[in-house]
Every structure is written in structure tokens, then in C-alpha cells.
Structure 1
Amino acid sequence: MGLVLIGTGLGLFFAKINNKAIFDAVVRWWPLVFVLLGLEVLVLSFWGKDNNSLVKYDIFSIFIILLIVFCGLGFYSLEGIGVTAKINDYLTSHEYRIRTSTSEIAVEPEVERLVISAPFCGLKIQTSETNKISSYSYALARADSQEAAKNLADKGTELMSNTSGNTQFISFQLPAIENVQTTEYTIIIPQNIDVELHNGDSVQIYTYELDNDWKIASSGDLQIFIPRQADLTIRALVDESNTLGGSVTWEGTETTEETDDSSNNAKKVVQVELGNETQSMDIALDSGSSILVNQL
């Protein structure tokens, strides 16, 4: 056993100097410890017949041997269910912040409304003059190289689309791959199609031209950036726990309704009127969330 300890120490020292992975070698060859321990016990037991032997085994020694055996069996069980492999992957990998590849979906000419089911992560929506939908995301991926991390992130990111009549439904597939966590999605949509948005987290909306109407059901914080010359009416259903802000002026109305939750906060409608009020944006906000509207 002394030789095993010396050999292990030298191996770790050599691996440290030469930047070698000693973990695989230890996992592969550790059962030899039992062989050497067993040989040592047999040899010392044989020599121990002589009363002058310097090494003797007592009850404590037997307990230590049994403890080592059970620890070895436990380690073997962990190796069998893949725990040691996961530890090895964690020790030899790094976490990268990856921008995934851009995916595109065509928008048919008959589509008049987009229904977007937002993911439970940050979402940024931009409008443009294009007639297609583009998206990409940022993800944290753990891998042994940046290229491998990007491949993992790309595999786990997908934009789902389904068209029914004049409505196109858009949803996001979050990565089901281990070691990949999406932190933010960006989607670019046509500016002349009405939008209905259901979101589960914070959303940022950038509208450079307003040629469409919006309906937003938000359970997270909402930031909206609109052009300074916008002709728009924003109506939001809020309660006292919501925060309103931005560079616009919010005006309250007398319309109220009682909520069904335990907070008993009365809902009220607040609005912003800009320009000729040609377009509309209707917002239903959950308690505790905030709306910020800024003119660019």
C-alpha cells in the first residue's frame, strides 16, 4: 500500500506538470488497490506466524480494510451510474456564452396576425420591413471547446411555426440538452402584421415603424421602445403593485374592476396617447410587473 501511495503521488505530480488528465487513469485502474491490499494482508498474515513480526493485524485493522472495501464498492456503483463521468466532464469543460445561428421562417402573404408564445427567459422583439421571421438566441453552454458549445446550443434551439387561416403561431423550443441554458431570445418580425404576445418572462419590444396593432399579456417586466413620431394609443390594465414609467405620460381612467386573487387590488386602465392614435397596443399586466415605454 505504501508503494501505491508513492506511485499515486508521483502520478499526480507528473500530471500537474505536464497538464495531463489523471482522472481517467485513476478511474480505470483503481481496482488494483484491492489486489495490492489483499496481497499485503496475505503476505503479512503469513509472516505474522512468527511472533517476532513487526506488523500485526488487530480488530481496528480489519475494520479499516472493510471500510476501504465498502468505499470501493460505493465508488464502483457511482462509476456504473455515470456519476464519475459527469464529474470528469465538469472538471475538463468550460462554460461559454454562445450566440446561436440565425433561423428563418417565411410568412405567407395571407397572414394578418402573429401569435407569439414567448419562452420563460428574456425575449427581445424587433420589427423590420422584411416579410419573414428571424430568430437567434444567447445560451450558456458547458463543453470542452467553444465549437462544441456552439454545436450543443444550436441543437437545442428551434423556432416552431404553425399557420391556421390568416394567423401564424410562433413558439420557442427551449434546449432539452444537458449543459445548455438559454438566457435570451431575439426575434425579428414584419412590422405590418398585427401581433398577439403571451410571455412568461421579461420582454423588450423595439418598433422602428408602427404599422400594426399589439395585444400583450405579460407576466414579467415589459420594456417598449417606439419611434418619436408614432401614432399610437397604449392601454394597460394594471393595479397598485405595477410600476409605470418611461419617457411618456401615463393617464388613468375611471374604469376599474376587482381581481379574483387574494391581493384584492382593484384593476384600472391607464393609457398613453401619441399622435393621431392610428395604431393600438393593449396590455394586460400581472401584479408586481412593470411597464416602461420610451420614445426613440
Structure 2
Amino acid sequence: MTYSIHADTVLGKVKLNISDLERSLQFYQEVVGLQVLEREGSTASLTADGVNVLIELEEIPNAIVSERRKTTGLYHYALLLPNREALGAALARLITSGIHIGQADHLVSEALYIADPDNNGIEIYADRPRSEWKKEDNGDYVMASNPVDWDGLLAAADPAAATLLPPGTIIGHIHLHINGIPAARAFYNGLLGFDIVGDYTDFKALFVSAGGYHHHIGLNIWAGIGAPAPAASTTGLEYFTIVYPNQAERDTAISRLRDAGAALTETDSVIFATDPSSIRIKLAVAE
């Protein structure tokens, strides 16, 4: 019987290595619209609701700013906003900042794309209702990269979200550069049990999710098959978090990974797995 991850599994905190904490804090507050929840030394935690940490930043010594599409690791992480009105407000804020903005109407969602000062990719998006999502006969979600209706988004903008991302903002998904799709498929689908919801061969990407979502994890080989892992002193993704709905589900995942000989480390009851592309994943339980 094929193992399938629990439908209530979601993503949690993303930790990034950066080169200049002061610069990044200014960016994440003024441009992205997150708030500082806690700051200590070279690290800071960012939140949208004043309670839950979405992003953790750590300034590392002698940091080398990552180059796009050169190594495995982060392509982008995605902040999912609770509604289109909040996305409109975010677009207005990004325009005011003068930052370069990428954009795409993916049919299942509308998305804006930016990069932080260390080239960490960020997607800010809002989903369309699930009732409007369509699938191909093979089960892949129908997605596209059409132009976003900027005028419509700006007209819908919620003034209450003009300066800050609203409560209800979460980590919706993460998109990763990997070194090969077969190994990633075996790890994320075969071992962790994420369901394949987009096997986009022409796109050189694989999308997987829990609970029928359009994707929690995007996996691509746009940095090249066999792409190397980044050097330890490079800015970028330190880890992302998979949040299981209960301890039993996490224990099942850990047991499956351990039986398969996957790389696991434990420090003070915090457990990390490492995927075949040397990407670290924190395995957590919902509070």
C-alpha cells in the first residue's frame, strides 16, 4: 500500500542565512510588511500576527551572497495571504518601494515575485477558491503563468493592510532547486508521502502536496542536473519546516526516513532531515 502524508500537514517557519541583519530587517518590515517578533544578537524572528514565526533570519560571518540558479537550495518561499484584498495592498506597497516585481496568474492563484537583499526569492500570493482549481486527466493541476490583473488587484486593495501583511498570512509553499527529479520524487513522494499534484516534465519540475493543495513543495532542476550544494558561508536557505498535525504522524515520518537510511540529526528534541540535494528540513508537530 502506498503511504500518503496526513492531509493536515502544512509548512512552517523558514530560516534564512543573510549577510546584513539591519539591512534585511528594514527590507522585510518596510517592503514585505512583516513585523519583528524577537531579536537576539545576529538573529531575528519575523511574524505577521505577532505570535507565529514565519521567517527567521541569521546574519552569518563572512557571508557570500548566493547567485541565482547556481546551486541546490531555495528558489523561493511563498507567503500565502488570506485574500485578494491583502494581495492588492501588498502590490501597492511593492510598487511604492520601487523594487522589481515579477508576477504571474497561475489560475489556482495570483502571485507576485521579489527577492530580498541576499537574492532569496519570495513569492507573495493569494489563492483562488479551490472550487475553481482544475485538473488534467492525469491528476496534475492546470496551472499557467498568465499576466496578473494589476489594475484589478490595486482596485481591490485593503487599506488596513497597506503597511503590514495581515494576520492569517502563512508559509503557503516552498520551491526548491534540486540536483535531480528521480531522487527527489523518491524522497518527497516515496518516503515522506507527499502526493504528486504536478508532474511537469516540459517544465522540468515536480510539485507535491498534502491534502489536495496545489503544491506545498515545488522541485525543479533549473540550476542543472547534478547542481552542487551551496558552500556553508553562502546566504540562502538554512532549512524549511514540515509541520505534522500530531506526534504520531511525525514519528511515522521519522521511522520511514530512518529505515531508508536517510540523513537525520537530532538536537534538543529538534529533528532535521536532509534531502538528496542537501536541503535541510525541520520535522515539527503542530502546537
Q: Name the TM-score class by shorter chain.
A: under 0.3
Q: Which has the larger radius of gyration?
A: 1
- TM-score normalised to the size of structure 1? 0.27
**Greater RCO, 1 or 2 (C-alpha within 8 Å, sep 6+):** 2
Structure number with the higher helix fraction is 1
- TM-score normalised to the size of structure 2? 0.27
